Chain A
């Protein structure tokens, strides 16, 4: 038994951390926050050249062919610096969906472009307010044409292709849309976290091709979501760790009542609790990484476990990072709110916390109790 990343994987982490420290300082995140640009295109290209985007994509499809453990390591680093790039949409979701269900033609056409950062993908499942479920899908796919609205869609404004869940006959299918081909309106949505822009996509008889079998869409989507949930959990883990580090640094530096505020138990214990939730999340994420990389039978339970734990940890650490900073933490100038925004946006991405909590217990009840015993 071995529940740890290898030395090579940790070297990869160091390499990408150094790259991101240089290429993705808070200033880069703020340029997207303040609307100067939709995403950091230079950084995204750099990540492609470094092999980050194609880490888990096989070499025959233009990837690096390392694997999902490596992708988890890289993902955590992206989460630490709040990288304002569409990796989650394009890689964890769209590339994963193509690898899971794409035809040979679809894979050969799109995976190399996604790996190279030449094309960006987005994942269009949601339809308005409320927890998303199969019955709520109203976008229709008939005779190769797509009609209806999807929102919110992360990175919908900058994507070249979309994977859309649509009603086809009696079932739900996934379809691929070339967003540059016309017949699609993109409406920007204001959001809690502008560093990952949200969009409404309106399809009006837009040409689309099916991904996977007719009526298999919800099943495929749920498999893709499980895999993406583990990757997002690593982003959350990176964010939680960074928020804790920021709080710790401030607790050491800030003086009040003639002493460092970190010497007060009220602050110290709050930070200890942040460490506890981040540690639990890390251990659960390792379990998720193992399940993802080995496609274990426990993957659905492991995904929900990692996801619930990491969501809880990131929200906990981000809000208490602001609390530790006091009033300064609530200024636009300090970076605390960037982590607070991202923690709350990621808590909803791929389905909300309560959705995943419910899924975890549903899956455990279905027979895989050992996973958490």
Chain B
């Protein structure tokens, strides 16, 4: 066991630091430090434009998408180098937020399933931030039960081989800024639900695609509804065989949980700073034993996640596959963030209800409180994640399913119950 950089790691860190020092947009640093929960913190520049600029700069110097191979515009760096880069990039990493879904989920799916021609066309502009991608999976009637989706893809009757798409997606992050989308559809309702799905990718400016922002419970609009009205997709934009969409989607979802879960913040460092300063009964909050007990429990969750991540990196560095322990990341981080936000407001007394510029840390904890319910749902709800841990990690039997061998069209829906 050793926490220190090896000589190679130290040399790499030095190289990264020097490049960042010469190239990072330092004038944005104060704003980026205020980033929290769905907001990049930027006010002086458009976040998408600023993000594209930073991503392009990184790509030109070989620092974009470090986990992708070089031939597609990636950096082909080792896991440990990626961690060091992340530590050094710090707040500037926020700028690449618009590309997270493309780099983490859509790109790897394209890489695994598209032909070489498409890979060469699609991946480099995604790596360099020229293109933004979104993931068109969830639907109003199929969230956790993703395979219950109803958006239809039907072969055009003009002999072109094209597909005609009709239906609706929901909870699509960043659809309003996206150039491309990864779309899962139903091509056959007469077979059991997992077997009738097919995956495509399409331009988001295709005729018939309409993006409508959702006004969320926290007042922001990061997610969208996306409507498809006779949208035409050429057959060569299909990923995997017809009916193989579920298998293709697993590539995406596996990457989703990895990229969402690793290195997630619980908000503990910010809470700790707040408790060092906040006044409780005339003393700093950390002087109160009740506060200390709560803080300690948050602290060990935060550090537990941090060192769980380091165990995975250690395994990767040795050429081993990380164990299943990383599946706990988002489950722990989401629930902790919510409890922690409630506790931070509690310490603010009755004025915890006030959410404005004068609130502690510019209202970070109020924002966290209002955003955290989504963290516990997006990318696999707490309940789905517990099923995954129970079934895939602990080997417990799956739930008894009533829809498994039934044709999709015969499965009862919320609307069919009288």
Contact = CB atoms under 8 A, between A and B. Distances in A.
A joins B in a complex = yes
Interface of A: 1-5, 69, 248, 251-252, 259-260, 262-265, 267-269, 271-273, 275-276, 279-284, 286-287, 289-290, 293-294, 296, 304-305, 308-309, 312, 354, 356-358, 360-362, 364-365, 369, 371-373
B38 interface: no
Q: Chain B, interface size: which category? A: 35 or more
B304 A252 contact: no
Contacts of A281: 304
A4 B272 contact: no
Interface in B281-333: 286, 289, 291-293, 295-297, 299-308, 310-311, 313-315, 317-318, 325, 328, 331-332
B80 to A, nearest CB: 7
A2 B312 CA distance: 10
A305 B317 contact: no
A14 B113 CA distance: 42
B315 A4 contact: yes
Which of A1, A280, A362 has most chain B Cβ within 10 Å? Answer: A1
A1 B297 CA distance: 26
A276 B296 contact: no
A4 B296 contact: no
B2 interface: yes
Given A268-B390, A268-B391, A361-B295, A3 B314 contact: yes
Given A4-B314, A268-B390, A361 B292 contact: yes
B299 A305 contact: yes
B398 A263 contact: yes
Interface of B: 1-6, 9, 80, 83, 268-269, 272, 276, 286, 289, 291-293, 295-297, 299-308, 310-311, 313-315, 317-318, 325, 328, 331-332, 383, 385-387, 389-391, 393-400
A93 to B, nearest CB: 23
Contacts of A309: 300, 303-304
Contacts of A280: 300-301, 304-305, 308, 328, 332
Which of B272, B302, B397 has most chain A Cβ within 10 Å? Answer: B397
Given A283-B307, A308-B300, A358 B293 contact: yes
B1 A275 contact: no
23 contacts: A1-B9, A1-B310, A1-B313, A2-B2, A3-B307, A4-B311, A4-B314, A265-B387, A268-B390, A271-B394, A273-B386, A275-B328, A276-B389, A283-B325, A289-B1, A294-B1, A296-B3, A305-B299, A308-B300, A309-B303, A358-B292, A360-B299, A372-B272
Contacts of B390: 262, 265, 268-269, 271-272
A2 B394 CA distance: 26
A15 B313 CA distance: 27
A1 B5 CA distance: 6
Given A275-B328, A358-B292, 18 more contacts: A3-B1, A251-B396, A262-B397, A263-B397, A269-B390, A276-B389, A279-B328, A280-B332, A283-B303, A283-B307, A283-B308, A287-B307, A290-B3, A294-B2, A308-B296, A312-B297, A354-B293, A372-B303
A56 to B, nearest CB: 15
B328 A276 contact: yes
A296 B80 CA distance: 22
Nearest to A371: B303
B303 A305 contact: yes
A287 B303 contact: yes
A146 B306 CA distance: 47
A280 to B, nearest CB: 3
A361 B286 contact: yes
A360 B298 CA distance: 11
A276 B332 contact: yes
A272 B311 contact: no
Contacts of A267: 396
A201 to B, nearest CB: 30
Nearest to A252: B396
Given A279-B325, A305-B303, A269 B383 contact: yes
B1 A286 contact: yes
Contacts of A272: 385-387, 389-390, 393-394
A2 B83 CA distance: 13
Q: Which 10 A-B pairs have the closest CB atoms?
A: A280-B304, A357-B296, A268-B390, A283-B307, A262-B396, A272-B386, A272-B389, A361-B292, A309-B300, A263-B397
B274 to A, nearest CB: 12
Nearest to A309: B300
Nearest to A260: B397
B2 A1 contact: yes
Given A358-B296, A361-B292, A268 B396 contact: yes
A87 to B, nearest CB: 22
A284 B309 CA distance: 11
Which of B300, B315, B318 has most chain A Cβ within 10 Å? Answer: B300
A308 B297 contact: yes
Given A271-B390, A290-B2, A365-B286, A305 B300 contact: yes
Given A252-B396, A287-B303, A308-B297, A1 B314 contact: yes
B271 to A, nearest CB: 11
A352 B102 CA distance: 48
B163 to A, nearest CB: 37
Nearest to B382: A269
Given A280-B301, A309-B300, A248 B394 contact: yes
Nearest to B391: A268
A240 B126 CA distance: 45
Contacts of B268: 372-373
Contacts of A358: 289, 292-293, 296
B232 to A, nearest CB: 42
Which of B83, B295, B396 has most chain A Cβ within 10 Å? Answer: B396
Contacts of B398: 263
Contact of A2 (B317, B387, B400): B317
A262 B398 CA distance: 8
A1 B3 contact: yes
B293 A263 contact: no
Contacts of B391: 268
Nearest to B331: A276
Nearest to A245: B394
Nearest to A357: B296
Contact of B387 (A259, A268, A286): A268
Contacts of B5: 1
Given A1-B3, A280-B301, A305-B300, A271 B396 contact: yes
Contacts of A371: 303
A2 B1 contact: yes
Given A1-B313, A271-B396, A361-B295, A283 B386 contact: no
A360 B302 CA distance: 13
Given A283-B325, A371-B303, A357 B293 contact: yes
Nearest to B84: A1
A373 B315 CA distance: 22
Contacts of B308: 279-280, 283
